[in-house]
Amino acid sequence: MIQRSLLNRLLCAALLASGLASVQSVQAQNYASGLAVELPEPNSSGLGFAPRVERSPYAGAGNRFDLMPLYIYDGKQLFLDVNRVGVKLLDEPTQRIDLLVERRLEGFPLTNAPASLAGMAIRDSSVDFGVSYSIRQPWGQLKAEMVRDTNSTHQGTEARLGYAKEWRSGALTWRPTLSVAWRSANLNNYYYGVRANEATAARPAYEPGAGLEARVGLHATFGVSRHWSLLTGVSATVLGNGVKNSPIVEQRVLPSYYLGAVYDFGRHESEWVGASSPTYFKVLYGQAAADGCHLIKILTAQCLSTTKVNPTSISAVQIGRPFIQNFNGLPIDVVGYVGLAQHNDNGLQTNGLQVDLFMKAFYTGFPWQDRVKTRLGMGMGVSLAQHVPYQEVSSQATKGDQTSRLLNYLDPTLDVSLGDLIGSRPLKDTYIGLGVSHRSGIFQTSRLLGNVNGGSNYIYTYIETVY
């Protein structure tokens, strides 16, 4: 079993390489997430969202709303696909082999828990490591996967076999899918079992043991415009007999519906920057924002103070490569970044690393650009922390909410050319500025991001050079 420290190193290396690799195409058949996202053009990378409603298996839990952020990237060797990041060991027209790290989207409801689960320890999402092999033929795609828990959450294993077939009609693509999964006893017992110390008169101790689970789905993608596509799909998951008979399980067939949209950066290849494009190198240092100094207040300059009570800080290096220059003829450049940050939690808890992977748009169309080049930037992506930062731990504890190592990431910045300020031509592409390192859980609506309502803000200064 891979240890947590090794997993973190693998994930950091994968994200770093994916941010710098050249991009190919994306055809995502992700049976684990229940979504099918396709960006058919070469040089594809996408951002989007997909609200999903699914039936909870737990008695009295009803339906669950889940906002799925869509971060899609496919490189020559690495990929990022909704809830997984991976390395391609083989990628040929007819077959593909991947090593992957996946966030499992199972677990107890984290808000409004039903009475059937009262007094039980929370069953949380896990991070699984696995291998995937797929065959692509005119008759469809056949995929086999095996994943195993890597962070001692359920200590179980799952083996999946899935089939998908695609039909196209103009801008519309239909994709039926069918998958069967064998789940180990440890996996089923963790999510659907009742431990002896959790048993009551109405809820006896129970272990469902190993078993099979099946899912059938129908997914569609519709190209609305040059860049935007709509996504929709319905599916039904059929639980195995052992799971169905659990005293905390109410439904055996779990329907799921989603409707979303994705923006495909790869549909305008002529605007993509080639292999000889410059590299962005940035170093930053920041301190935690004061209580009540949330992102909107910081962006509107209503609050720019840092906390004086239990202060913590962050230092980071970010490396970027431009994806698009002069997007749609506008003074907007799009850059892909990967960042490695170090949290200094000032003895309040163990310091930790943080990996950020994001796309960032820079606007440079200000009237004074000829005199002092100015950039207004906004980055959006994902952030994975080795340890949840103290600022998040403390703020969530006061609300009685839990934390998540994986959160949404925003990186708003404002900078100016150092060379223009001091009259040095060699430093014209070196910038100094202010920014905010912002982690958040999208208002407790996304299981992928831990259903967290809150996060952290670090106000930072930085210098960035382009070479």
Q: What is the CATH number of the domain that holds 77?
A: 2.40.160.40
Shared-domain flag, residues 213 and 295: no
User: What is the pLDDT at residue 113?
Assistant: 85
How does residue 266 score in pLDDT terms, banded at 50, 70 and 90? low
Q: Domain range spanning residue 168?
A: 4-265
Shared-domain flag, residues 250 and 149: yes
Q: Could you tell me which residue, 255 or 382, shows the higher pLDDT?
A: 255
Shared-domain flag, residues 229 and 289: no
Lowest pLDDT segment from 87-96, 258-267, 321-330, 349-358:
258-267
Could you give the dihedral angle defined by the CA atoms of residues 382, 386, 389 and 390, in that order, rounded to the nearest 10 degrees? Answer: 160
User: What is the pLDDT at residue 30?
Assistant: 61
| pLDDT exceeds cutoff 50 at 23 | no
Tell me what percent of the residues of the chain surpass a pLDDT of 90. Answer: 55
Q: How far apart are CA 330 and CA 429, in angstroms?
A: 20
Q: Could you tell me which residue, 218 or 27, shows the higher pLDDT?
A: 218
Lowest pLDDT segment from 59-68, 191-200, 441-450:
441-450
Shared-domain flag, residues 235 and 321: no
Does this model's pTM top 0.85? no
Which of these three, 223, 247, 265, is where a domain ends? 265
Which of these three, 265, 290, 319, is where a domain ends? 265
Q: How far apart are CA 432 and CA 417, in angstroms?
A: 7
For the chain, give the mean pLDDT: 85
Strand segments (E) across 251-351 = 253-264, 280-288, 313-324, 332-344
| pLDDT exceeds cutoff 80 at 35 | no
CB atoms within 10 A of CB 112: 9
Phi first, then psi: give them for residue 379, nearest 5 degrees. Answer: -105, 150
Shared-domain flag, residues 246 and 350: no
Which of these three, 235, 265, 295, is where a domain ends? 265
Q: How far apart are CA 269 and CA 432, in angstroms?
A: 31
Shared-domain flag, residues 294 and 390: yes
| pLDDT exceeds cutoff 50 at 320 | yes
Shared-domain flag, residues 248 and 336: no
Helix (H) or strand (E) holding 118, with range, is none
Q: Say whether 20 sits in a helix, a strand or coil.
A: helix
User: What is the pLDDT at residue 29?
Assistant: 54
Identify which of 133, 236, 149, 161 has the alpha carbon closest to the alpha carbon of residue 188: 149
Average pLDDT of span 238-260? 94
H helices present in 114-258, as ranges = 185-192, 241-244
Burial 205-233 (b: 16+ CB within 10 A, else e): ebebbbbebebebebebebeeeeebbbbb
Average pLDDT of span 348-362? 93
Shared-domain flag, residues 231 and 315: no
Q: How far apart are CA 300 and CA 294, in angstroms?
A: 10
> For residue 30, what is the DSSP state?
E
Lowest pLDDT segment from 27-36, 228-237, 323-332, 399-408:
27-36
CATH code for the domain in which residue 290 is found: 2.40.160.20
Shared-domain flag, residues 37 and 163: yes
Strand segments (E) across 56-139 = 63-74, 78-81, 84-91, 95-103, 127-137
User: What is the pLDDT at residue 464?
Assistant: 98
Cβ 56 vs Cβ 109: under 8 Å: yes
Tell me what percent of the residues of the chain surpass a pLDDT of 70. Answer: 87
Q: How far apart are CA 318 and CA 302, in angstroms?
A: 27
How does residue 267 score in pLDDT terms, banded at 50, 70 and 90? very low
Average pLDDT of span 365-377? 95
| pLDDT exceeds cutoff 70 at 169 | yes
Q: Could you give the number of structural domains in the chain?
A: 2
pLDDT in tens, 412-459: 999 999 999 999 999 999 999 999 999 987 766 677 776 677 789 999
Shared-domain flag, residues 99 and 236: yes
CB atoms within 10 A of CB 392: 24
Q: How far apart are CA 289 and CA 92, in angstroms?
A: 48
Identify the burial level of 274 via C-beta atoms within 10 angstroms of its C-beta, where 0-12 means exposed, 13-18 middle and 19 or more buried.
exposed
